[in-house]
């Protein structure tokens, strides 16, 4: 079965000050448990803020290393999941369910990409 990477994109400037609510974390935990039992969720996690990140760029034959925060970034990858599903339609349904556990004040996007094998 194909594997897919879903990247959760967020605007760090719009994140709730206190982070995810306990209710959101409970709903997310239940969905993650369901996905794990269904055998589709291979790995998932949130990522630290860009202020704690580093970018390494190769351009013009030179390496550049820049520590965060990256002020020019409006939308960043805030988390990910690796899902093994029979097809893109199935991973899309799981992704929709993941997004819908969030409260209405969240503005998030999930990008789905199939992992190239071999």
Span 3-52, pLDDT tens digits: 999 999 998 888 888 889 999 999 999 999 999 999 999 999 999 988 99
Q: Are 81 and 57 in contact (CB under 8 A)?
A: no
> What is the structure's pLDDT at 17?
82
Instruction: Measure the CA–CA gap between 59 and 61, rounded to whole angstroms.
Output: 5
**Model pTM?**
0.87
> What is the structure's pLDDT at 13?
82
Instruction: Measure the CA–CA gap between 117 and 16, rounded to whole angstroms.
Output: 37
Instruction: Measure the CA–CA gap between 85 and 75, rounded to whole angstroms.
Output: 27
> What is the structure's pLDDT at 11?
87
The predicted-structure confidence for 54-105, as pLDDT tens digits, reads as follows 999 999 999 999 998 877 777 889 999 999 999 999 999 999 999 999 999 8
């Amino acid at each position: 079965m194909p594997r897919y990477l879903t990247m959760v994109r967020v605007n760090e400037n719009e994140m709730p000050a206190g982070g995810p609510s306990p209710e959101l974390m409970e709903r997310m935990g239940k969905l993650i448990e369901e996905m794990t039992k269904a055998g589709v969720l291979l790995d998932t996690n949130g990522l630290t803020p860009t202020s704690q990140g580093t970018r390494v760029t190769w351009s013009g034959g030179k390496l550049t290393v820049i520590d965060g925060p990256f002020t020019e970034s409006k939308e960043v990858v805030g988390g990910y999941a690796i899902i093994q599903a029979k097809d893109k339609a199935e991973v899309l349904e799981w992704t929709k369910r993941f997004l819908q556990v969030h409260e209405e004040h969240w503005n998030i996007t999930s990008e789905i990409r199939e992992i190239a094998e071999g």
